[in-house]
Amino acid sequence: MTQTVAYIYHDPILESVTEPIDWEIDVQNLYVDLGDRQALGQLMQLVNQGAIHTLLIRQIRDLGDSIESILHVLNQLEHAKVALRVMQGDLPKGADPNWIQQLQWLQELNQDQHRQAIQKGHARNRLAALPPPGRAPFGYRRGKDRYVIDRAAASIVKDFFENFLLYGSLRGAVRFINQKHQKKISISTGRNWLTNPAYRGDLAYKNGDVILNTHPPLVSREEAAQVDRLLRRNQTLAPKTASAARSLAGLVSCAQCQAKLAITSTRSRGSKTPNYLYLRPNPCGKGPSAPDRCPLADYNQVLKKTIQRICRELPQRVSQAQLPNIEQLKSQIQQQLQAQEARLTQLIQLKENGILDENTLQIRSYQIRVEMGTLQDRLSQLPPASLSMISRSVSIPEFWQDLSEAERRFYFREFLKGIWLTYSAKGKGEPTWRVQSLDFVF
């Protein structure tokens, strides 16, 4: 008695096992191959014995890795008068196998097979944690099986990161390496450097997977976490504001007209340094011709009052904030990372004991390392555990005295989302500005 059977081929390197397929008719048996085609060989023996009446497959490419192997199977099916039904893909349902002789379809199938072979090669490289195709990132060169540090170029990358960590300015870091090393890069290239996992010793692939610790890093994990926090903080600011030299840039708003206050300077004729810094609404929300439009504010006075307000309010805000236990969260993630490391060791032991083959070992190891990359990303996004200790230091007025504007900018943006000012005019005298409120990040 002849049978109606179905056959599925999965390449575990390229795809995971899919949901059950609706074959639309009853099948007496299902043959499944994972990576090799042993089940297909058994099936073809039954075909040659005349035991198969109808064969259902997902797509024609499941029958082989090359045009020749597919044609060989199709010729056997035709010779045995087996009806072939293709359910999902590259051959119309119920089409006669002779249809493949059409030149256009054969060319398309050949191109598809070639593309799949390239994808399989890339997938095998991912499983072996080999660098993706293409040029190595600036600062590295391609070695035999990993990126190797190019010392001359790496020094430029390190200086770029150090400058960004010191001043928090992407544009400033780009200018710095241009002045020091005569290395010109665009702002977008600089941003790509800051976010490129390769500089952290990791490999990122086109499918979004990240594998940790594949080559020597140029940036430590702690520095990389700080870079990510600076980038997230700067996302709320305009690009030029994020790189502005003054510490209050982008933070100050007028509580009366709701306008942002821009920093403007004046200087005496022939002087290279500003004589006077002030803040002005840009533009005033009351309109340029309003008789009561908001006046200018003395920058240094606003800076002084902001620091006083921070010293007074920050400790209380930190104590009242419902902050998560950062140390506990870090400990939990680190324990999960250690557990994944232990799983990798167990897989190697299973391979040595003959329980796992090399292909299965690579696939499972790759999956675990991708999960570890996700855990490391979560770990890097956590704020510093010593927030309360930092806040106590920042709340001491003397702490601010010797800081540069760049250092003050770092701490302002670390704790503040905004500074709201209001003013009062007393007769014909100068209007008095005061800090009405501070918007803390927590």
Domain ranges of the chain: 3-126, 140-239, 252-322+389-440, 326-380
pLDDT at 339 over 90: yes
Report d(CA 44, CA 200) in Å as an integer.
Answer: 51
Residues of the chain with pLDDT > 70: what percent?
87
Examine domains 3-126 and 140-239 and report if their fold is the same. Answer: no
pLDDT at 92: 47
pLDDT at 93: 46
pLDDT digits (tens, 9 = 90+) for 212-251: 999 999 999 989 988 998 888 888 777 777 777 788 888 8
Q: Considering only 126-135, 154-163, 307-316, 379-388, which range has the smallest mean pLDDT?
A: 379-388
- Which CATH superfamily, name and number, covers 140-239? Putative Large Serine Recombinase; Chain B, Domain 2 (3.90.1750.20)
The stretch 203-214 carries a mean pLDDT of 90
The stretch 102-129 carries a mean pLDDT of 77
pLDDT at 424 over 80: no
pLDDT at 343: 92
Highest mean pLDDT among 96-110, 158-172, 243-257, 427-441 belongs to: 158-172
The stretch 188-214 carries a mean pLDDT of 93
Tokens 């904030």 map to which residue? 321
Give 103's pLDDT tier (boundaries 50, 70, 90). very low
Give 5's pLDDT tier (boundaries 50, 70, 90). very high
The token duo for 223 is 């520095």
Report d(CA 63, CA 61) in Å as an integer.
Answer: 5
Strand 3-10 relative to strand 29-34, pairing: parallel
The token duo for 65 is 């890795």
382 or 310, greater pLDDT: 310
Highest mean pLDDT among 177-186, 300-309, 385-394 belongs to: 177-186
Report d(CA 46, CA 58) in Å as an integer.
Answer: 20
- Rounded to the nearest 5 degrees, what angle is found at the Cα of 309, between the Cα atoms of 307 and 315? 100
Report d(CA 160, CA 154) in Å as an integer.
Answer: 10
Are the C-beta atoms of 203 and 214 separated by less than 8 Å?
Answer: yes
Give 428's pLDDT tier (boundaries 50, 70, 90). low
Give 431's pLDDT tier (boundaries 50, 70, 90). low
In one-letter notation, the amino acid at residue 130 is L
Give 362's pLDDT tier (boundaries 50, 70, 90). confident
pLDDT at 41: 92
Report d(CA 260, CA 280) in Å as an integer.
Answer: 8
The token duo for 129 is 């944690």
This prediction's pTM = 0.70
Q: Which CATH fold topology does 3-126 show?
A: Rossmann fold (3.40.50)
pLDDT at 287: 52
Per-chain mean pLDDT for the chain: 83
Closest CA to 213 of 197, 228, 224, 196: 197
Alpha-carbon torsion (132, 134, 138, 144), positive or negative:
positive
pLDDT at 387 over 80: no
